Amino acid sequence: MISASVGALQGVVPLFLLLAVLLAVPAVVIARARQAAVLPGVAAAVFFAGAFAVTLAPGGAGGAATNMACVTGTSPGEALRTTPGVLNALLFAPACFFLVRATRRPLASLAVICLAVPGVEWAQAAFPLGRTCTYSDLTLNCAGAALGWAAGLLTAGLARKNSPLTRRDLIRGGGPAAAGTLVMLALFSALTPIEGPSEGLGVSAAQDRWAREAAAGVYGDDARVVQVQLRPALPHEPVRIDVTTDLGSLTLAWPDRKILTPRADDRRDDGGDQARTPSATPATVRPAQP
């Protein structure tokens, strides 16, 4: 998620500025109407705008169309050993912290968080953003959001010298928080889990084009490419590209343009027909030259 946004940097900045204005203006109006401090609300708006811009700006990973699939990816523990994984864990923490401080209603804030944070990954699968939904990103985002929410709850309690969880907030915020969680569970149940690496990284335009042609040659033109990822280069070894589709996965060699390891993994309903098999073997595939 974080790494994919680097290639979309030109779109991230204007989207961030637009979202910051759209979120900050209502935050100021609400704070003044409640005679509350303006700064926490503006800070929450700006941090949410940054998180949304980084995760929802159109990128180059995955296909150009919706795929309604979410990649299993690496485990959260493995992801945390990388810089993108740490950034994903911290992405929503400041926004959720300031949201609690701005609203002074932790459970009402939790209702917003339960919809907004998981909703980002779902949107990457449901809309043609060229981004990849991954469960590891989802886990890290939610963990960071929980950390920010807990920190906001703790500091709010210390400032008030009593529990910030009031009966009024429990009545008004508990139900929406539970409803938001159920909505997200229902939305994610409509996604297809697909095994594969967590983020499409590093491929050039020529590599991406050839990888998609190779996938179409093996699995057919109706195969949906979920992501294309460049593996780290090894000494004296050809560059390897991993391609994940809804029908299976491929490992490709570059610049040799060879298909090394195709694997069928069709999860679609075939209407009672026999299981689909790849339409070609590695030796018979001849993707077009770029």
Q: Taking the mean position of all CA atoms in its chain, how far away is CA 217? A: 28
The whole-angstrom separation of Cα 61 and Cα 252 is 17
At residue 84, the pLDDT reads 78
At residue 52, the pLDDT reads 96
Token output for 10:
């030109």
- Cα–Cα nearest to 287, from 257, 262, 267, 266: 257
Place of tokens 């949107």: 123
pLDDT grade for 255, boundaries at 50, 70 and 90: confident
The whole-angstrom separation of Cα 261 and Cα 283 is 11
Per the prediction, the chain carries an average pLDDT of 80
At residue 10, the pLDDT reads 60
The whole-angstrom separation of Cα 229 and Cα 201 is 5
pLDDT grade for 151, boundaries at 50, 70 and 90: very high
In Å, what is the CA distance from 111 to each residue of 36, 115, 117, 174? 21, 7, 10, 8
> Which 3 state secondary structure label does DSSP give 27?
helix
Residue type at 120?
V
Higher pLDDT, 201 or 156: 156
**pTM for the structure as a whole:** 0.69
Q: What is the mean pLDDT of residues 28-46?
A: 94
Is the confidence at residue 271, as pLDDT, over 60?
Answer: no
Is the confidence at residue 176, as pLDDT, over 50?
Answer: yes
Is the confidence at residue 98, as pLDDT, over 70?
Answer: yes
pLDDT grade for 102, boundaries at 50, 70 and 90: very high
Is the confidence at residue 284, as pLDDT, over 80?
Answer: no
In Å, what is the CA distance from 261 to each residue of 13, 22, 211, 215, 275? 39, 48, 13, 12, 19
Higher pLDDT, 115 or 196: 115
Q: How many Å is the Cα radius of gyration of the chain? A: 22
Is the confidence at residue 276, as pLDDT, over 50?
Answer: no
Neighbours of 48 (CB within 10 A): 25
Q: What percentage of the chain carries pLDDT values higher than 70?
A: 77
| Residues 6+ positions from 259 with CB-CB distance below 8 Å | 214, 218, 250, 251, 252, 253, 282, 285
Token output for 129:
């953003």
Neighbours of 216 (CB within 10 A): 18
pLDDT grade for 226, boundaries at 50, 70 and 90: confident
The whole-angstrom separation of Cα 266 and Cα 106 is 43
| Residues 6+ positions from 235 with CB-CB distance below 8 Å | none
